[in-house]
Amino acid sequence: MHAPPGRRHPHVVPTALPLLDQPRCALGEGPVWDAGRGVAHVVDIERGTLWEVALGERPSAVEVLRTDAPLGAAVPAEGGGFLLAAGDRLRHVDARGATVDEVVLVPPGVDSRLNDGKVDPAGRFLVGSMANDGRRGQERLWRIELDGTVTVLDDDLTLSNGLGWSPDGRTLYSVDTEPATIWARPYDVATGATGPRRRLLSIDEGNPDGMCVDATGHLWVAIWGYGQVRRLAPDGTVVEVVDVDAPITTSCAFVGPEMRTLLITTAGQPDDSVEQTATAGCLFTVDLDVPGLPSRAWRGAGPGPLGRRGSPPGPDPAGTPVP
């Protein structure tokens, strides 16, 4: 539910406003900004739909494609089309939505699905999983390398969620929603090497979901169940709060020509823990003084394991540590 009166954080920025009546998402997520085309994309996970959203004086949204599985994330591919995290697999689809390549990431017999994903500053794709059957501590965070091979970064998560990088690319932030934890670890963009993760913050009020990072290195984290996006300093201190008139805030991204508009996704699905509002499931925006970091396109459209249609990627390769 929304944060109780008297427990707000001291600096509250202007309240986010609904952008459009449609789409009214069951579980909106994964906003990304396509600067080349000047549009945003969001997914409705439960309905398996990808939406294209135009901003400006006359905002509009059109459905781009629909999958036959929950759509955890969708990012533009540098060579055209999209990379989709659909159900248990990744799919590279062309501009018409036809499958070019796909690869199964979730091991056979495991009742999990892919969830939030994001492209790193070098064009690699990271995506995590969540259990459908209540298992804890067994979910993974994968990275698809530029040559198509697969690296497992984490294998002890419960609900892998939001991802982001510091402005210099040297820190990777990742969210595990169920233990309400945000992790940080060293990250080498050039080589992909990672260092040991550390707990940046454990949240007591609500659960962290999707996130993005602004140009000053602050994190903007959607808080499921509290109708908020919280701005965190790099040390985890909450410095600002955006209120949203939808209790299930799910993710956010900087969009627009100047990257100063925060696009916020929400969920309209029933939830016994919150009282939904009339605008639950809508997209929201708020204009900010600080610009955000750009979304990136996936660069791995060449041959590789993603071309082995429907086959698992094989044994988990070990991640390379940062010196």
Per-residue pLDDT of the chain (323 residues; tens, 9 = 90+): 344 333 444 466 778 999 988 899 999 999 999 999 999 999 999 999 999 999 988 999 999 999 999 999 999 999 889 999 999 999 999 988 899 999 999 999 999 999 999 999 999 999 999 999 989 999 999 999 998 899 999 999 999 999 999 999 999 999 999 999 999 999 999 999 999 999 999 998 889 999 999 999 999 999 999 999 999 999 999 999 999 999 999 999 999 999 999 999 999 988 878 889 999 999 999 999 999 999 999 997 555 556 443 344 443 434 444 43
Q: What does the DSSP 8-state code read for residue 318? A: P
- 320 in a domain, yes or no? no
Q: For residue 1, tell me if it sits in a domain.
A: no
Active site residues: 209
The CATH number given to whatever domain includes residue 194 is: 2.120.10.30
Quick one: which of 53, 55, 58 has its CA closest to 40? 53
* Cα atoms found within 13 Å of the Cα of residue 125, Cβ hemisphere only: 31
Residue of 22, 33, 5 whose CA lies nearest to 255: 33
| Amino acid identity for residue 245 in this structure | D
Question: Does residue 222 lie within any of the structural domains?
Answer: yes
Residue 193 in any domain: the answer is yes
Distances (CA, A) of 60 to 124, 170, 252, 275, 302: 30, 36, 18, 28, 33
The tokens describing 276, both together, are 């939904």
* CB-CB contact of 105 with 142 (8 Å): yes
Is 12 among the domain residues?
Answer: no
Q: How many domains does the chain have?
A: 1
Number of C-beta neighbours around residue 238 at 10 A: 18
The angle at the Cα of 266, spanning 144 to 132, to the nearest 5 degrees, equals: 55
Separation of alpha carbons 27 and 249, rounded Å: 10
Please, what's the largest Cα pairwise distance for the chain? 55
Residue 87 lies in a domain: yes
- Domain holding 133, by residue range, is 17-307
Strands of the sheet containing 219-224, edge to edge, are 207-213, 219-224, 228-232, 238-243
Torsion 292-293-298-299 (CA) sign: positive
What distance in Å separates the CA atoms of residue 161 and residue 90, rounded to the nearest whole number? Answer: 16
Q: 77 has which bridge partners?
A: 298
Q: Is residue 312 assigned to a domain?
A: no
- Cβ–Cβ < 8 Å for 144, 300: yes
Element housing 255 (H / E): strand 249-255
Residue 317 lies in a domain: no
